[in-house]
Every structure is written in structure tokens, then in C-alpha cells.
């Protein structure tokens, strides 16, 4: 049996022993709600380095977009925008289906403004 990596769409998560990707998903998702399968990928050991590299690139792209929006739309200075972009990205990667990238930016701005009151 080959080692298959069960990974969220964002970062490395878990491993299972399985012969195929389908078997790995079945083993991992046995007690999970079926909707959760939409949040996970299954990659082989050979595919894992490329997967992780791609995830890092995606994170940088999304954080850059968030930072630009925070600076250009909400008027934050670069350093504060970078900190808030990190917080917005963390919120975005919690995996709640209803949260969009932009929605997470707005929530982070709202939380930041409430903290100042």
C-alpha cells in the first residue's frame, strides 16, 4: 500500500495508508459529513512537494490581493494592511464555505474598527 496524504485545500493535514486516492478519501472521511470532501485533496508522496509549493504560491497571491484592498479601498498603511491581510487570510482558511476572500477582508476591517472603540 502507498501512503496517501489527505490535505485541506490550504495546508498539509494528515496521512493514511491506502492503495488508491479513492480508498484514502473513504478512510479519512468515514465519520465526516460528505460535504467535507469538497475541502480536501488527496495527493501521493510524489505529488506532495508540488502541492505544497502551489499552496504557498496561492497563499502569497491571496494575501497580496487582501493587502492591496486594505490599502487602496480601506486606507490602511502598508504595515497595518499586511498584518490585517494575515488575519483575513487566516479567517479565510478556516474553511467555512460562506466566507469569500473579500468577505474576510471586510470582517477583519470591522473587527479592527471595533477594537479601536
**Structure confidence at residue 57 (pLDDT):** 75
What would the grid cell of residue 83 be? 498584518
Q: Residue 42: beta bridge partners?
A: 6
- CB-CB contact of 99 with 9 (8 Å): no
pLDDT at 27: 58
- What is the predicted pLDDT for the residue at 12? 35
- 10-residue averages of pLDDT along the chain (117 residues): 65 54 61 52 75 75 91 95 94 73 92 89
Identify the burial level of 82 via C-beta atoms within 10 angstroms of its C-beta, where 0-12 means exposed, 13-18 middle and 19 or more buried. Answer: middle
Q: Judge contact between 102 and 69, C-beta under 8 A.
A: yes
C-alpha to C-alpha distance for 2 and 77, rounded to whole angstroms: 49
Q: Which three cell numbers stand for residue 50?
A: 508540488
In this prediction the pTM is: 0.56
Within the chain, residue ranges assigned H as helices are 21-29, 48-72, 78-92, 101-116
In whole angstroms, give the CA distance from residue 32 to residue 30. 6
Amino acid at each position: 500500500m502507498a501512503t496517501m496524504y489527505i490535505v485541506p485545500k490550504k495546508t498539509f493535514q494528515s496521512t493514511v495508508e491506502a492503495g488508491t486516492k479513492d480508498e484514502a478519501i473513504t478512510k479519512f472521511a468515514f465519520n465526516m459529513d460528505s460535504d467535507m470532501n469538497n475541502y480536501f485533496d488527496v495527493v501521493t508522496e510524489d505529488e506532495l512537494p508540488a502541492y505544497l509549493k502551489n499552496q504557498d504560491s496561492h497563499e502569497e497571491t491571496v494575501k497580496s490581493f487582501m493587502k492591496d484592498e486594505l490599502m487602496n479601498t480601506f486606507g490602511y498603511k502598508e504595515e497595518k494592511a499586511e498584518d490585517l491581510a494575515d488575519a483575513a487570510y487566516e479567517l479565510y482558511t478556516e474553511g467555512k464555505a460562506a466566507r469569500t476572500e473579500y468577505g474576510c477582508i471586510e470582517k477583519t476591517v470591522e473587527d479592527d474598527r471595533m477594537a479601536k472603540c
